[in-house]
C-alpha cells in the first residue's frame, strides 16, 4: 500500500473531489453524471472495465479502472485518484456490487468468495485508502451503498444479503470509530430502484455459480425466479423509485454539515427497517417467503 503522506502537501483542487465506483451503469453512472452537472464536484467515475471507462471519458467524465476483485487494481486506482487531486480526496461513494440469486444450500465456497470480494472486501479496501488520505487533510466523507438486504433476510438472496449485512456492520463500526474526527460515514439504503441492471446481471451470476439442474429448487428457479430476474416491468414493487431519489439522498450525505448514518431511499427500505424491530421474526419470515419464495 502506498503512503498518502507523500501526496498530502500539494496544491488542493478548486472543487471537492469524489471517487465513485461502479459507474458503468445504474446508480454509479447516474451519481457521476448528476454530481458533474451539479457543479462544485470533480468526479472520478471508475469502472471495472477499460471499455466502460472509455465510454465515460467520451462523455466528458474523468474515468479510470477500479476492479473490486483485484487488489492491485484498487491500489492503482486510489493512487491515480490521489495523484490527480494532490491527496485532497473529499469523498468516496462505494457503489459497485452484484447479486447472486440462489438458495443458500446451492452456494459454493467459491461463489461466496467471489461475491464477498466485490461487495465487501473491495469497498472496504477503497474506504481504507480514502480514510488515510482524509486523515491527512482532516476531513472527508465515506458513503457506502448498502441495501434493505443489509438488515433483512431474503430467501434465495442469501449471498447478497450476507455481504450487505457485513457492509452494514463494518460501516457502523467505522462511523463510531471516526465520530471525533471530521470524516463522516453514511449508508445509502436504496431498495427497489428503476433503471438498475442488478436483476439481469443477477441472472448471469446465478447461471455462472448455481448448478440449477441438480438443485432441489430447480423448478422454482426455472418457472419463477429466472423469469422474474429477466423482467423489465417497472411496477414489480409498488414502492419502486427512480434514480433521482437516490441522488437527493447522496447529495445530502455528501454536502450536509450533519449527514445521517442511514438514508432510506424507498418506502420498501424504510418499512423493512421498522418491520425488523416491530414485528415478530415469524411474521417477517412469512412476509419475505410470500414475496420472494416459491408460489
Banded model confidence at residue 232, pLDDT cuts 50, 70, 90: low
**Cβ pair 249, 193 in contact under 8 A:** no
Residue whose entry in the numeric block shows the C-alpha cell 438498475: 196
Task: Say how far apart CA 29 and CA 92 lie, in whole Å.
Answer: 14
3-state helix, strand, coil split of the chain in percent (to 5) is 55, 15, 35
Catalytic residues, which ones?
160
Banded model confidence at residue 292, pLDDT cuts 50, 70, 90: confident
Conformational region of residue 183, where left means phi above 0, alpha means psi within -120 to 50, and beta covers everything else: beta
129-149 mean pLDDT: 96
DSSP secondary structure code for residue 149 in this structure: G
pLDDT of residue 259: 98
181-229 pLDDT per residue, tens: 999 999 999 988 886 778 788 999 999 999 999 999 999 999 999 888 8
Task: Say how far apart CA 159 and CA 164 lie, in whole Å.
Answer: 9
**pLDDT, greater one: 293 or 250:** 250
CA neighbours closer than 13 Å in the CB half-sphere of residue 53: 15
Q: CA angle 230-195-46, nearest 5°? A: 110
DSSP secondary structure code for residue 11 in this structure: P
Distances in Å between the alpha carbon of 55 and those of 41, 52, 95, 236, 263? 20, 5, 18, 31, 30
Distances in Å between the alpha carbon of 110 and those of 59, 117, 203, 274? 37, 11, 17, 34
pLDDT exceeds 80 at position 233 = no
Task: Say how far apart CA 130 and CA 7 lie, in whole Å.
Answer: 12
The model carries a pTM of 0.90
Task: Say how far apart CA 188 and CA 142 lie, in whole Å.
Answer: 11
pLDDT of residue 6: 43
The fraction of the chain above a pLDDT of 70, given in percent, is 92
Distances in Å between the alpha carbon of 194 and those of 4, 30, 137? 38, 12, 37
Task: Say how far apart CA 269 and CA 116 lie, in whole Å.
Answer: 22
pLDDT exceeds 90 at position 3 = no
Task: Say how far apart CA 225 and CA 228 lie, in whole Å.
Answer: 5
Q: Which residues lie across from 92 on neighbouring strands?
A: 19, 142
For 208, the enclosing helix (H) or strand (E) is: helix 198-209
pLDDT exceeds 50 at position 5 = no
240-288 pLDDT per residue, tens: 788 889 999 999 999 999 999 999 999 889 999 999 999 999 999 999 9
pLDDT of residue 199: 78
Banded model confidence at residue 234, pLDDT cuts 50, 70, 90: very low
Amino acid at each position: 500500500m502506498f503512503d498518502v503522506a507523500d501526496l498530502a502537501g500539494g496544491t488542493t483542487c478548486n472543487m471537492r473531489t469524489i471517487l465513485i465506483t461502479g459507474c458503468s451503469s445504474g446508480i454509479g453512472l447516474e451519481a457521476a453524471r448528476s454530481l458533474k452537472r451539479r457543479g462544485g464536484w470533480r468526479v472520478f467515475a471508475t469502472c471495472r472495465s477499460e471499455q466502460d471507462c472509455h465510454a465515460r471519458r467520451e462523455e466528458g467524465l474523468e474515468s479510470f479502472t477500479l476492479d473490486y476483485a483485484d487488489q492491485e487494481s484498487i491500489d492503482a486506482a486510489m493512487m491515480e485518484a490521489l495523484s490527480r487531486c494532490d491527496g485532497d480526496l473529499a469523498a468516496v461513494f462505494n457503489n459497485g456490487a452484484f447479486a447472486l440469486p440462489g438458495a443458500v444450500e446451492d452456494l459454493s465456497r467459491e461463489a461466496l468468495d467471489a461475491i464477498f470480494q466485490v461487495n465487501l472486501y473491495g469497498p472496504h479496501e477503497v474506504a481504507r485508502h480514502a480514510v488515510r488520505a482524509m486523515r491527512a487533510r482532516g476531513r472527508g466523507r465515506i458513503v457506502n451503498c448498502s441495501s434493505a438486504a443489509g438488515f433483512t433476510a431474503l430467501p434465495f438472496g442469501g449471498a447478497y444479503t450476507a455481504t450487505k449485512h457485513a457492509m452494514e456492520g463494518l460501516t457502523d463500526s467505522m462511523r463510531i470509530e471516526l465520530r471525533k474526527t471530521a470524516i463522516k460515514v453514511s449508508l445509502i439504503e436504496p431498495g427497489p430502484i428503476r433503471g438498475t441492471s442488478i436483476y439481469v446481471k443477477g441472472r448471469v451470476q446465478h447461471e455462472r455459480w448455481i448448478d440449477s439442474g441438480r438443485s432441489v429448487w430447480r423448478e422454482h428457479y426455472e418457472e419463477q425466479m429466472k423469469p422474474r430476474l429477466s423482467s423489465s416491468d417497472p411496477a414489480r414493487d409498488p414502492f419502486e423509485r427512480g434514480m433521482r431519489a437516490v441522488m437527493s439522498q447522496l447529495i445530502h450525505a455528501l454536502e450536509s454539515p450533519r449527514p445521517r448514518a442511514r438514508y432510506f431511499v424507498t418506502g420498501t427500505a424504510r418499512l423493512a427497517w421498522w418491520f425488523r424491530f416491530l414485528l415478530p421474526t415469524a411474521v417477517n419470515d412469512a412476509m419475505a417467503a410470500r414475496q420472494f419464495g416459491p408460489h
